[in-house]
Amino acid sequence: MNIEVIGISPSPPQDHAAFKEENNLNFEIYTDYQYEFGGRFGFIDLGESTIHRGYVGVNPESDNMIVEVDYLVGQQLNAVLEKMKDL
């Protein structure tokens, strides 16, 4: 299965660099300064001032998509991979 992982967070890039190093991550983490991505997919609720973890999976060939909010991907990796196969 060919999967590309990209992280998105409202934290500044300096925080991302430290987080990547601490956790030995080999993918890019982009900053969502304006909360556009997080707001659109339900990861950020400005009214409640909350930020949730989760993921968006997209199959670029079919445009099928899955969104899981308040979901710890690292603890559910095998389940996430199965869902990616189903896309």
pLDDT tens string for the chain (87 positions)?
Answer: 788 889 999 999 999 999 999 999 999 999 999 999 999 999 999 888 889 988 999 999 898 999 999 877 777 888 888 888 888
Dihedral (CA of 39, 40, 41, 47) sign: positive
Whole-model pTM: value is: 0.77
Q: What is the CA radius of gyration of the chain?
A: 14
> What pLDDT is attached to residue 21?
93
Neighbours of 68 (CB within 10 A): 19
Residue 52 makes CB contacts below 8 A (sequence gap 6+) with 42, 43, 44, 45, 69, 70
